[in-house]
């Protein structure tokens, strides 16, 4: 134990992920006078939000680039006292004890509370604009259920989970179509009959290229395999199923509760099933899929972590 103490850098709060939710959580944890570490696998803080060309929905800014906004948030968190490490991949979590252990490829850290803000759990399919979650793009049926109710949905999938998600969506969506992205689903006759019974149209021999349009009218651009011709399908929501990111296995090994497709299960305060472990933003099982929503969620979860550290609740 003494050897572990010497090898481990200790904090009050460790935030995994430096997107808008993680930076907001890190900022407020530091403002609460908590020793705070924010660790992210990317070369720079900001996550996917930093790639946005122009944000028009962030309060206080008529229009600002994602890169500029994330730079400001990073600077503000650092000035508040948060330590931010980039290019560090968390490879293991041991959150069951009073001290939560996070191991990266470079260091081992401990903290009394852990906040997960790792972004969406799905890999995606490489389609242009597929990461615009909340802008007519969805990855998780449970998390996005309010947006899917009564809508026209096209599921684009490259793993067998796409079939399961399409069938599940028939319970909430008005109409569901399923695109077998690059013919990778291996749909058998039994499954075809089941899809037909549920009114799901199966679209094969196509590859998803791009998602166009603004909510509530979206257009999915498809290219036929072996051809250059393209066609567009109109819909309300494009639901992307491309398998889960590697970090989901780290969560599951740590026995942190996740949905089938990797979202972390949380309550209204952002608490997971493990005491002292919280989740915020797009990785959590809540509708937090825009930059303002993720920022607010990170702030709220930092408050929950502070209450846990102070009162044990």
Arithmetic mean of pLDDT, 38-53: 90
pLDDT tens digits along 106-140: 999 999 999 999 998 878 899 998 877 767 888 87
Cis peptide before 43 (omega within 30 of 0): no
pLDDT at 276 over 70: yes
pLDDT at residue 6, rounded to an integer: 46
Residue 51: band (very low, low, confident or very high) from pLDDT cuts 50, 70, 90: confident
pLDDT at 7 over 60: no
Among 99-113, 244-258, 285-299, which stretch is predicted with the lowest mean pLDDT?
A: 285-299
Quote the DSSP letter at residue 313. -
pLDDT at 53 over 90: no
Percent residues over pLDDT 70 in the chain = 96
pLDDT tens digits along 79-93: 999 999 999 999 999
Regarding the domain delimited by 2-121+244-311, which CATH topology (the fold level of the hierarchy) does it fall under? FAD/NAD(P)-binding domain (3.50.50)
pLDDT at residue 2, rounded to an integer: 40
Higher pLDDT, 146 or 238: 238
Q: What angle do CA 223, 47, 304 make, to 5 degrees?
A: 125
Arithmetic mean of pLDDT, 38-60: 89
Average pLDDT, the chain: 92
Per 3-state DSSP, the chain is made up of helix, strand and coil in percentages (nearest 5) of 30, 30, 40
CA 63/CA 301 separation, integer angstroms: 27
Residue 5: band (very low, low, confident or very high) from pLDDT cuts 50, 70, 90: very low
pLDDT at 286 over 80: no
pLDDT tens digits along 186-223: 899 999 999 999 999 999 999 999 999 988 999 999 99
Quote the tokens at residue 103.
């191991």
pLDDT at 302 over 50: yes
DSSP E strands: which ranges in the chain?
8-16, 36-39, 83-85, 90-94, 100-104, 108-116, 137-138, 152-157, 175-181, 201-212, 218-224, 230-235, 237-241, 277-279
Domain 137-241 CATH class label: alpha beta
pLDDT at 176 over 80: yes
pLDDT tens digits along 132-170: 776 788 887 777 777 889 999 999 999 898 999 999 999
Q: Within the chain, which residue ranges are assigned CATH 3.50.50.60?
A: 2-121+244-311, 137-241
pLDDT at residue 4, rounded to an integer: 44
pLDDT at residue 243, rounded to an integer: 81
CA 151/CA 172 separation, integer angstroms: 8
Rg of the chain in Å (alpha carbons): 20
pLDDT at 285 over 80: no
pTM: 0.82
Half-sphere exposure of 289 (CA within 13 A, CB side): 24
pLDDT at residue 3, rounded to an integer: 43
313, burial (CB in 10 Å: exposed 0-12, middle 13-18, buried 19+):
exposed
């Amino acid at each position: 134990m003494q050897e572990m103490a010497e090898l481990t850098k200790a904090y009050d709060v460790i935030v995994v992920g430096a997107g808008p939710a993680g930076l907001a959580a890190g900022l407020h944890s530091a403002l609460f006078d908590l020793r705070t570490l924010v660790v992210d696998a990317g070369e720079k803080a900001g996550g996917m939000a930093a790639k946005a060309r122009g944000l028009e929905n962030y309060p206080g800014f008529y229009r600002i680039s994602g890169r500029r906004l994330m730079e400001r948030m990073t600077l503000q968190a650092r000035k508040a006292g948060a330590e931010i490490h980039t290019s560090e991949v968390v490879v293991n979590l041991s959150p069951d004890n009073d001290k939560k252990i996070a191991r990266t490829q470079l260091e081992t850290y401990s903290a009394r509370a852990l906040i997960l803000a790792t972004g969406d759990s799905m890999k995606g399919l490489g389609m242009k604009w597929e990461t615009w979650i909340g802008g007519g793009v969805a990855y998780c049926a449970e998390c996005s259920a309010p947006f899917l109710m009564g809508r026209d949905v096209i599921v684009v999938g490259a793993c067998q989970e796409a079939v399961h998600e399409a069938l599940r969506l028939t319970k909430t969506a008005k109409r569901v179509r399923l695109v077998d992205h690059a013919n990778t689903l291996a749909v058998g006759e039994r499954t075809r009959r089941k899809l037909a019974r549920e009114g799901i149209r199966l679209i094969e021999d196509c590859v998803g290229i791009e998602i166009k349009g603004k909510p509530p009218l979206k257009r999915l651009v498809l290219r036929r395999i072996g051809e250059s011709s393209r066609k567009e399908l109109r819909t309300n929501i494009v639901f992307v199923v491309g398998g889960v990111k590697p970090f989901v296995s780290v969560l599951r090994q740590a026995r942190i509760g996740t949905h089938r497709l990797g979202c972390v299960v949380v309550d209204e305060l952002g608490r997971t099933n493990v005491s002292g472990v919280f989740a915020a933003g797009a990785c959590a099982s809540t509708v937090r899929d825009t930059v303002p929503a993720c920022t607010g969620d990170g702030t709220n979860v930092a408050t929950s972590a502070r209450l846990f550290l102070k009162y044990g609740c």
